[in-house]
Structure 1
């Protein structure tokens, strides 16, 4: 079935436009469901460390599912980079590609993007892409290193590479990947789950094209993009013109533990346009807190979405009024051979800083800072129950900042990770040699204010076998600040063997040996408060 429409894309009725909009969004959700249900590792099927996007043939997002916000408008950079390298003729039916280069996609090597062109009757109509965390990329330590100093220590790095050609697997590429990682079977299983995700997207988009026709789809796309851009420009125009600025600091780079690293964002509002300038930040760090510029752009987009048209689904019309300025050679626009394993620590800080900078201009939309970081806990070793190597890596939830109309949320994943879930205790204890002795709200950790910040959590583990412990906990130098007189939240705290003679306090560690019976107590930070206590207005 087709609908008549003008060749210039005008004249499409709003009902058809809305039906197609919903169909595209549902196609992305179907892709996400396929990936999660087909994956082999709990990082994806339990924690949901993934995101998907459906794009048109010009690499604009048609639909993106719930997932990690840090990938907002970022997956298309992989297809764009491939086309820049090999030309538009590179896209052939049945091909599937893979890419994880930190300087192209912007993330660490564990975040692998799998993408495929979509053809209908021989014509390229779009792309389907997903990004998911693979549990090991062959880095110098299983799962990933907290003390890497170059990209070459972080594992297999792939530029655009075919893994399927004309619908058939590229067995040599599959073998190459399998030989570089410590868990070949589940890694290739997750890769094939991403391939299934891409094929689901291809089927769904082809169904839409065949039902409505390509002209109608393009007309609906243009209308959707125009609506989104118009809404965003109107919201920016309502913000007073001016230059707004905020600065914060990472604790350190994991190598030089005594040197905080600054991040400054300068936001300029000029009519219906917004510019975020992050050129004033620390130089490229020795430790793994760097990222490619593409991820910095994505983080700025998250901060933007928190304040501008957050209720509008992401599409190719999003971010048209936004410019992001980076400077090559900084930790927000790293170049080879910078280490990038913990690329998201400064991005979570950056997102909060965007909101802090604009808070004086939009106090009704701004929230105080959240606990901020993923707060990674990683266990690796040989499981005595199976004799096999294991890697358990999980993010820890914490408190979010308060805002004008309510308290901050408690025990919620940080704003970098969005739909990511913390690992269920039952799954953790079943799959790995650890026992969770306590999982509770860290009462009182949220900052006080007219509305108070959300609380963090306490998560205490007992090791049931000898293994190695790695930690990446952040935001003690710049804890979750309050706004308009609200107090800051409590900083994070991690203690190994609390109350024993060998008690240690630590926030970062790499492959630290722990023994059976040792205890790890993790306390995540709270969010900042909003407004002074006892006052009705900020």
Structure 2
């Protein structure tokens, strides 16, 4: 826990419109990239100020002296609509489990989804115990991502507010990997946490198969590199990339697109202009999408190095290298992930590596699972995939 950084309790960053200079000094002294971190915090403050200004303008426009009455009405309507949507799901208990690469040994995510009338409950009993490494997830994180995925599946048009989540209950045993408590480390919680909603969707498939998607490259691939640049200045740079989404009952999965996170991949131009990294290759990964009536989204291939005269460091924090995203309704799994150095040596999914200045790392991100049986796919869609280079002729012949 304490290797992750200083533990700051809940404190006001601003009070009465005044910046807490002491708190800002503590933050700046305990992060690797103070310029970027403080910039993020200032951006959040400005966003809050803009939101307050716009809210006051709206109240003035409509002659409102308070918004509690309006808020209660929106919340009540949202709750009513959500309960109606839940009632449309057959009552029952639906289960699913997913294995992730974990750290040193696999981590199991297991869930039981119970639908009773207009109540929706998820229980993660049976999931792995918390790890000694920083991949544990707080219950709030688990709750946020699971409720988001549930709402996307059954009631995407209902506003996000307290009312829309009142009928949904999320539980996980205290001390399990999805309900970490202090001082369990949680720095890389996204690696495991993003599997929780996908596990729930897999359980929901048994109740509402037309409203769920196949498994995808769930975790964001956070590419963190640090060392010294050509001028001898220290740098620490983080960029994000994603594999393929799982296919759905009506169309192919999106390529190089994350779910459940909406984080977008960082453009090459931004990476190279803001860091010593050099991107030698960035393209969709052929044959990575799982076969099916609808194909899983493609992962991507990223080859990069660093402009430096000294060794540089690269902590791998990835998943799906041993357990590929699974398909649904007869669809095939997507391709497993792979990480190579100098196109020869395979790296582990979670470990700190130190490389020489000339070393090149290749990331092969996983693809999403397919949906439906491959033999049901329109032959013209297969032909288009081959023409576009999404699929090799050999894979087309073997799978379709």
TM-score by length of 1: 0.67
Q: Quote the offset at 1:183 in angstroms.
A: 3.4
1:527 alignment counterpart: 368
1:483 matched to 2:328? yes
Relative to structure 1, is the Cα distance of residues 430 and 479 closer, same or farther in structure 2, using a 3 angstrom cutoff? Answer: same
* 1:175-190 superposed matches below 5 A: 175-190=25-40
* 1:343-362 superposed matches below 5 A: 343-362=189-208
Structure 2 CA distance, aligned partners of 1:344 and 1:184? 22
2:11 alignment counterpart: 161
1:204 matched to 2:54? yes
- 8 Å contact from structure 2 (residues 326, 334) kept in 1: yes
2:259 alignment counterpart: 415
Instruction: Please give the secondary structure, in 2, of the residue aligned with 1:317.
Output: helix
Structure 1 CA distance, aligned partners of 2:171 and 2:348? 35
Instruction: Please give the secondary structure, in 2, of the residue aligned with 1:527.
Output: coil
Deviating more after overlay: 452-461 vs 209-218: 209-218
Q: Quote the offset at 1:214 in angstroms.
A: 4.6
Instruction: Please give the secondary structure, in 1, of the residue aligned with 2:7.
Output: coil
Residues 488-535 of structure 1: CA deviation (Å, up to 9, x unaligned): 111111101114xxx33332222x211122111101111111111223
Residues 321-349 of structure 1: CA deviation (Å, up to 9, x unaligned): 10111221111111121110111122221
Instruction: Please give the secondary structure, in 2, of the residue aligned with 1:447.
Output: coil
Residues 285-325 of structure 1: CA deviation (Å, up to 9, x unaligned): 11111121111111211221231211333123221110111
Instruction: Please give the secondary structure, in 2, of the residue aligned with 1:265.
Output: strand
* 1:382-421 superposed matches below 5 A: 382-385=228-231, 387-412=232-257, 414-418=258-262, 420-421=263-264
Q: Which runs of 5+ in 2 are unaligned?
A: 378-400
1:434 matched to 2:277? yes
Structure 2 CA distance, aligned partners of 1:213 and 1:290? 48
- 8 Å contact from structure 1 (residues 249, 477) kept in 2: no
Structure 1 CA distance, aligned partners of 2:38 and 2:255? 37
2:289 alignment counterpart: 446
Instruction: Please give the secondary structure, in 1, of the residue aligned with 2:13.
Output: strand
Instruction: Please give the secondary structure, in 1, of the residue aligned with 2:174.
Output: coil
- Which of residues 79, 94, 108 is equivalent to 1:262? 108
- 8 Å contact from structure 1 (residues 459, 522) kept in 2: yes
* 1:286-325 superposed matches below 5 A: 286-325=132-171
1:248 matched to 2:93? no
1:496 matched to 2:341? yes
Instruction: Please give the secondary structure, in 1, of the residue aligned with 2:194.
Output: helix
- Which of residues 163, 170, 182 is equivalent to 2:20? 170
Structure 1 CA distance, aligned partners of 2:225 and 2:185? 21
Q: CA RMSD in A?
A: 1.9
- 8 Å contact from structure 1 (residues 497, 504) kept in 2: no
Structure 1 CA distance, aligned partners of 2:29 and 2:259? 35
Instruction: Please give the secondary structure, in 1, of the residue aligned with 2:316.
Output: strand
Residues 9-47 of structure 1: CA deviation (Å, up to 9, x unaligned): xxxxxxxxxxxxxxxxxxxxxxxxxxxxxxxxxxxxxxx
Structure 2 CA distance, aligned partners of 1:375 and 1:183? 20
Structure 1 CA distance, aligned partners of 2:187 and 2:137? 8
* 1:10-25 superposed matches below 5 A: none
- 8 Å contact from structure 2 (residues 239, 271) kept in 1: no
Structure 1 CA distance, aligned partners of 2:343 and 2:101? 23
TM-score by length of 2: 0.89
1:9 alignment counterpart: none
- 8 Å contact from structure 2 (residues 301, 364) kept in 1: yes
1:472 matched to 2:317? yes
Structure 2 CA distance, aligned partners of 1:186 and 1:376? 16
Instruction: Please give the secondary structure, in 2, of the residue aligned with 1:225.
Output: helix
1:278 alignment counterpart: 124
- 8 Å contact from structure 2 (residues 194, 261) kept in 1: no
- Which of residues 498, 505, 509 is equivalent to 2:351? 509
Structure 2 CA distance, aligned partners of 1:397 and 1:344? 13
Residues 443-501 of structure 1: CA deviation (Å, up to 9, x unaligned): 111111111111100011122223111111102333110111111111111101114xx
- 8 Å contact from structure 1 (residues 495, 506) kept in 2: no
Structure 2 CA distance, aligned partners of 1:404 and 1:184? 45
Relative to structure 1, is the Cα distance of residues 300 and 492 closer, same or farther in structure 2, using a 3 angstrom cutoff? Answer: same
Structure 1 CA distance, aligned partners of 2:261 and 2:372? 27
Q: Which runs of 5+ in 1 are unaligned?
A: 1-150
